[in-house]
């Protein structure tokens, strides 16, 4: 097999992502590599694919037990034999795992760095062929980083003692100057091929909200994203409890996580979250390292984190599957005080001298300051983040919270009149999306389903951009010309005041983002590449998606694994769009590897057959 066949067979992907292939090729050519890639970029593939092609075993050093378990489960799901060795196993289990490993049953073994020092593990390592040592979360080796782990220093000694030097590969998502140097020097990488892919995560929407009531904002937001998975970060345990109670009282399926809970409860709550039994979790920053849940749709920060590093890492847990997701920080000036307090009272590390402690405190202060700037800048948030992480970026992204806040005013009374005409023509039977789609002359599946092209208003505002039109409608609601029904349909209706527009006795002024046409195009392109599920699927498609999701939950329950390890949301959406009816067609679905097909493919096929009666033409779920 070659690397492409492996990617197809075990992962169900047809092509490598930016950077992955280069790293893999260098490893296969016997070179050390350093891969600095943002969360969700697909680092695991970079060492797992070569691991399957190299002659011996690959050891993956990973700092967290939960992370190892998750990765190994995912590999086994995909049909790769892998194991982990850490303190969560009993001595007996370790003996067994090592014996199997010695027989060559596993190509990939995850180990905790502490394990490398033990005589027993060393004996094992000397007796087998180790082709590669892959260091995950490699920034943990640097004393300059946030997550320094002294045990990472053992890696170097361990590698030195092996009879034959294996290839070393190191991966991380966070690396500023000093940390990067450390990874190369301290780990002892030899002339590594270094690849830094962009830190930009196109599918994430960033915003800072200066809201009067954070609680109300939160309630609103969570209610508006019902059924979606989200993390809400708070600075203190007390806040976690408060926010947790608030949401729980609202009937949200929510759980919580902080260091004050027993280990047992933390594990249970974490599992509830991972297995989607409780899709929302309120947590301190103790939560999240090693959480590999790919379908987190939003990360809200109830409090300001202590640094941009923390923020980007925590926020970055949203949207690992590449689907659009929100990262929203709720700002309150008093958070600065809380954070100062936390920094000043941080327990001093006894290994550091007084001088070093002072340096660290100053550094923490600086970081907090930068975080505060982020919260208060009027410029593009994405650009701010990228610059902070050392990426040149001079343009505005046009789609973060701040970019969308730069307004110009425009008289849109005429356009408002057309909106009202459209509502009257459609007898107020639709929500904002269909109304806007009609006026824009849209061609989506949903619009076809409603046959909106029979209305005179169809395409009446086709020259407007969708967002512009939605802003106009939003403004009309705000000013009381229109209202939305409060049920789940959110139908648009006119009020008595709307007549003033028709009579021409008032004007409607809308605040719009100024933009050159070039930027508008860019925006459309970005939108096209990261569509929301509801843009891809029509109403029936979304209903069918829920059916598939239910089947996924059922399988996950049977197997005792998290649903996203069965298939990602993306894979299910693709199934809805393609409606595969044979093995061959099913294998075309994004994320459907041969092994996964053998395990679950049939069940999804029969679900599709049952739903459609085998006649694809009658069903039209996608665009």
Is the CB of 530 or the CB of 594 nearer to Zn ion? 530
Annotate each residue in 131-160 with x if it binds ligand ADP (CB under 6 A) or - if it does not, as one string: ------------------------------
User: Is position 43 an interface residue for ligand ADP (rule: CB under 6 A)?
Assistant: yes
Q: Residue 130's binding partner, choosing from Zn ion, ligand ADP, none, with beta-carbon cut-off 5 to 8 A by kind?
A: none
Coil, strand or helix at 58: strand
Is the CB of 301 or the CB of 382 nearer to Zn ion? 382
Task: Give least dist CB 394 to Zn ion, A.
Answer: 12
> For ligand ADP, which residue of 3, 9, 10, 16 counts as binding (CB under 6 A)?
16
Q: Residue 319's binding partner, choosing from Zn ion, ligand ADP, none, with beta-carbon cut-off 5 to 8 A by kind?
A: none
Task: Give least dist CB 258 to ligand ADP, A.
Answer: 24
Task: Give least dist CB 498 to ligand ADP, A.
Answer: 47
CA gap 461, 277 in Å, rounded = 44
Task: Give least dist CB 74 to ligand ADP, A.
Answer: 8
Annotate each residue in 551-590 with x if it binds ligand ADP (CB under 6 A) or - if it does not, as one string: -----------------x----------------------
What angle (nearest 5°) sits at the alpha carbon of residue 179, between those of residues 175 and 182?
135
Sites of contact with Zn ion (CB under 5 A):
380, 382, 396-397, 400, 403
Q: Residue 497's binding partner, choosing from ligand ADP, Zn ion, none, with beta-carbon cut-off 5 to 8 A by kind?
A: none
Contact by Cβ (8 Å): 521, 412: no
CA gap 130, 108 in Å, rounded = 10
User: Is position 4 an interface residue for ligand ADP (rule: CB under 6 A)?
Assistant: no
Q: Residue 403's binding partner, choosing from Zn ion, ligand ADP, none, with beta-carbon cut-off 5 to 8 A by kind?
A: Zn ion
Contact by Cβ (8 Å): 19, 147: no
Task: Give least dist CB 371 to ligand ADP, A.
Answer: 23
Q: Residue 13's binding partner, choosing from Zn ion, ligand ADP, none, with beta-carbon cut-off 5 to 8 A by kind?
A: ligand ADP
User: Is position 40 an interface residue for ligand ADP (rule: CB under 6 A)?
Assistant: yes
Strand partners, 450: none
Is the CB of 97 or the CB of 380 nearer to Zn ion? 380
Burial class (CB in 10 A: 0-12, 13-18, 19+), 224: exposed
Residues 6+ apart with CB under 8 A from 81: 75, 105, 106, 107, 108
Return the range that interacts with ligand ADP (CB under 6 A); candidates 13-21, 489-497, 533-541, 613-621: 13-21
User: Is position 596 an interface residue for ligand ADP (rule: CB under 6 A)?
Assistant: no
Size of the site for ligand ADP (CB under 6 A): 17
User: Is position 42 an interface residue for ligand ADP (rule: CB under 6 A)?
Assistant: yes
User: Is position 317 an interface residue for ligand ADP (rule: CB under 6 A)?
Assistant: no
CA gap 195, 48 in Å, rounded = 17
> For ligand ADP, which residue of 6, 10, 33, 39 counts as binding (CB under 6 A)?
39
Residues 6+ apart with CB under 8 A from 158: 116, 117, 122, 125, 133
Q: Residue 281's binding partner, choosing from Zn ion, ligand ADP, none, with beta-carbon cut-off 5 to 8 A by kind?
A: none
Is the CB of 172 or the CB of 239 nearer to ligand ADP? 172
DSSP 8: I
Q: The tokens 């000043």 sit on which residue?
A: 344
Residue whose beta carbon is closest to ligand ADP: 42
User: Is position 62 an interface residue for ligand ADP (rule: CB under 6 A)?
Assistant: no
Which residues in 428-573 belong to E strands, given as ranges? 482-484, 492-494, 509-512
Residues 6+ apart with CB under 8 A from 36: 171, 172, 173, 175, 180, 194, 195, 196, 197
User: Is position 320 an interface residue for ligand ADP (rule: CB under 6 A)?
Assistant: yes
Task: Give least dist CB 312 to Zn ion, A.
Answer: 15
Q: Residue 37's binding partner, choosing from Zn ion, ligand ADP, none, with beta-carbon cut-off 5 to 8 A by kind?
A: ligand ADP
User: Is position 37 an interface residue for ligand ADP (rule: CB under 6 A)?
Assistant: yes
Q: What does 126-195 look like in DSSP terms, one character per residue?
A: HHS-EEEEEETTGGGG-TTSTT--GGGGHHHHHHHHSSSPPEEEEEES---HHHHHHHHHHHT-SS-EEE
Task: Give least dist CB 331 to Zn ion, A.
Answer: 17
Site for ligand ADP in 236-295 (CB under 6 A): 292, 294
Coil, strand or helix at 35: strand
Is the CB of 381 or the CB of 589 nearer to Zn ion? 381
Task: Give least dist CB 43 to ligand ADP, A.
Answer: 3
> For ligand ADP, which residue of 44, 229, 383, 402 counts as binding (CB under 6 A)?
44
CA gap 496, 416 in Å, rounded = 15
Q: Residue 380's binding partner, choosing from Zn ion, ligand ADP, none, with beta-carbon cut-off 5 to 8 A by kind?
A: Zn ion
> For ligand ADP, which residue of 45, 85, 330, 498 counts as binding (CB under 6 A)?
45
Of 391, 390, 290, 296, nearest to 44 (Cα)?
A: 290
- Sign for the pseudo-dihedral over CA of 34, 39, 40, 45: positive
Contact by Cβ (8 Å): 436, 470: yes
CA gap 94, 85 in Å, rounded = 6
Strand partners, 84: 110
CA gap 361, 367 in Å, rounded = 10
Return the range that interacts with ligand ADP (CB under 6 A); candidates 40-48, 249-257, 369-377, 468-476: 40-48
Burial class (CB in 10 A: 0-12, 13-18, 19+), 164: exposed
Task: Give least dist CB 190 to ligand ADP, A.
Answer: 24
Q: Residue 115's binding partner, choosing from ligand ADP, Zn ion, none, with beta-carbon cut-off 5 to 8 A by kind?
A: none
Q: Residue 239's binding partner, choosing from ligand ADP, Zn ion, none, with beta-carbon cut-off 5 to 8 A by kind?
A: none
Return the range that interacts with ligand ADP (CB under 6 A); candidates 15-23, 488-496, 507-515, 555-563: 15-23
Q: Count CB neighbours of 201 within 10 A.
A: 23
CA gap 530, 322 in Å, rounded = 8
| Chain positions contacting ligand ADP, by CB under 6 A | 13, 16-17, 20, 37, 39-45, 292, 294, 320-321, 568
């Amino acid at each position: 097999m070659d690397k492409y066949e492996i990617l197809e067979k075990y992962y169900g992907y047809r092509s490598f992502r930016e950077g992955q292939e280069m790293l893999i090729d260098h490893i296969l050519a016997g070179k050390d590599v350093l891969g600095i890639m943002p969360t969700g970029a697909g680092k695991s593939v970079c060492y797992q694919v070569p691991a399957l092609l190299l002659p011996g075993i690959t050891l993956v050093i990973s700092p967290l037990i939960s992370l190892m378990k998750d990765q190994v489960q995912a590999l086994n799901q995909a049909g790769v034999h892998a194991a982990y060795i850490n303190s969560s196993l009993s001595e007996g289990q370790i003996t067994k795992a090592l014996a199997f490993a010695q027989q060559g049953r596993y190509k990939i073994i995850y180990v905790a760095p502490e394990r490398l020092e033990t005589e027993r593990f060393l004996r094992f390592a000397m007796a087998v062929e180790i082709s590669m040592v892959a260091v995950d979360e490699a920034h943990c080796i640097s004393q300059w980083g946030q997550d320094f782990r002294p045990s990472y220093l053992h890696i170097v000694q361990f590698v030195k003692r092996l009879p034959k030097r294996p290839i070393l590969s190191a991966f991380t998502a966070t690396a500023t100057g000093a940390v990067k140097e450390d990874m190369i020097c301290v780990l002892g990488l030899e002339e590594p091929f270094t690849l830094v892919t962009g830190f930009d995560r196109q599918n994430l929407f960033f915003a800072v909200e200066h809201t009067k009531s954070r609680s109300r904002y939160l309630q609103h937001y969570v209610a508006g994203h019902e059924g979606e998975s989200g993390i809400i970060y708070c600075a203190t345990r007390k806040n976690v409890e408060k926010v947790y109670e608030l949401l729980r009282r609202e009937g949200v399926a929510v759980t919580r996580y902080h260091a004050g809970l027993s280990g047992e409860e933390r594990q249970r709550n974490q599992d509830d979250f991972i297995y989607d039994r409780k899709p929302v979790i309120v947590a301190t920053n103790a939560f999240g390292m090693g959480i590999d849940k790919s379908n987190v749709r939003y990360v809200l920060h109830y409090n300001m984190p202590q640094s941009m590093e923390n923020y980007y890492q925590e926020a970055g847990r949203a949207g690992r599957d590449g689907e659009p997701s929100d990262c929203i920080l709720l700002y309150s000036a008093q958070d600065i005080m809380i954070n100062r307090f936390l920094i000043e009272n941080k327990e001093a590390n006894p290994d550091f001298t007084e001088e070093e402690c002072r340096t660290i405190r100053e550094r923490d202060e600086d970081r907090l300051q930068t975080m505060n700037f982020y919260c208060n800048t009027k410029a593009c948030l994405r650009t701010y983040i990228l610059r902070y992480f050392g990426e040149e970026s001079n343009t505005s992204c046009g789609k973060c919270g701040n970019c969308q806040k730069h307004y110009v005013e425009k008289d849109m009374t005429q356009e408002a009149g057309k909106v009202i005409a459209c509502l009257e023509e459609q007898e107020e039977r639709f929500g904002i999306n269909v109304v806007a789609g009609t006026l824009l002359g849209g061609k989506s599946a949903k619009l076809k389903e409603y046959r909106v092209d029979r209305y005179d208003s169809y395409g009446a505002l086709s020259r407007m951009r969708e967002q512009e039109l939605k802003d106009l409608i939003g403004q009309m609601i705000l000013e009381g010309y229109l209202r939305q029904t409060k049920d789940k349909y959110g139908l648009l209706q006119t009020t008595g005041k709307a007549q003033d527009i028709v009579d021409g006795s008032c004007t409607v002024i809308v605040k719009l983002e100024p933009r050159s046409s070039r930027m508008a195009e860019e925006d459309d392109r970005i939108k096209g590449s990261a569509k929301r599920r509801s843009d891809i699927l029509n109403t029936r498609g979304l209903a069918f998606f829920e059916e598939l999701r239910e089947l996924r939950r059922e399988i996950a329950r049977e197997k005792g694994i998290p649903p996203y390890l069965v298939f990602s949301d993306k894979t299910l959406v693709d199934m809805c769009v393609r409606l595969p009816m044979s093995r061959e067609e099913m294998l075309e679905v994004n994320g459907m590897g041969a092994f996964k097909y053998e395990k679950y493919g049939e069940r999804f096929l029969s679900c599709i057959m049952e739903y459609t009666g085998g006649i694809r033409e009658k069903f039209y779920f996608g665009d």
